Amino acid sequence: MKRKFWNWVRNEGEKRVLLLDGEISDETWWGDEVTPQMFRSELNAAEGDIDLWINSPGGDCYAAAQIYNMLMEYKGNVNVKIDGIAASAASVVAMAGSTVEISPLGMLMIHNPMTVSIGDTHEMERTITFLAEIKESIINAYEIKTGLSRAKISRLMDA
């Protein structure tokens, strides 16, 4: 089995502890036994509030979107604690927290979505449209959590 980017430190009792550590990878998320269903099964295997510790450079935005949605639907509170970095796609996961705390030494990094594309001008235009749509979906999570305007969040992502 490939290394999961999440690990349950404590998964029973009053408070569950989940570590999201490392790259949120599409390679292990989609291509083998480390699947969204596996994360969902582990998430729903017990009840109670969760302390989610994040130290991740980010990774695949689709996998992050699924984690975000699963955590938002979870019946207990999800208390996010950023002790290292929640960058890129990991910052989206952090937005699913009932509460979000960051260490005085921690970092949260947001940016515009990126990809690699090859092709003619039509393909490049489709890619630009695709990236703009992804950006709008990411802004949804930041807007819900922060209450900042979409325009302000967009400028922050541009910067």
Predicted confidence (pLDDT) per residue in 122-143, tens digit: 999 999 999 999 999 999 999 9
pLDDT tens across 90-133, in order? 999 999 999 999 999 999 999 999 999 999 999 999 999 999 99
Q: What is the 3-state secondary structure (H, E, C) of 22-58?
A: CCECHHHHHCCCCCHHHHHHHHCCCCCEEEEEEEECC
Question: Is 79 found in the same domain as 38?
Answer: yes
Residue ranges making up the domain that contains 69: 1-109
Q: Are residues 8 and 84 in the same domain?
A: yes
> Does 91 lie in the same domain as 125?
no
CATH number at residue 75: 3.90.226.10
Buried b (16+ CB within 10 A) or exposed e, 111-139: eebeeeeeeeeeeeeeeeeeeeebbeebb
Do 37 and 7 sit in the same domain of this protein? Answer: yes
Assess contact for 19 and 9: CB atoms under 8 A: yes
* 97, 128: one domain: no
Task: Tell me the C-alpha distance between 155 and 142, whole Å.
Answer: 12
Number of domains in the chain: 2
46 and 34 in one domain? yes
Local confidence band at 29 (pLDDT 50, 70, 90 cut-offs): very low
My answer on whether 120 and 96 are in the same domain is: no
One domain for residues 21 and 93: yes
- For residues 16 and 91, membership in a common domain is answered with yes
Answering whether pTM is above 0.85, one says yes
| 73 and 119 assigned to the same domain | no
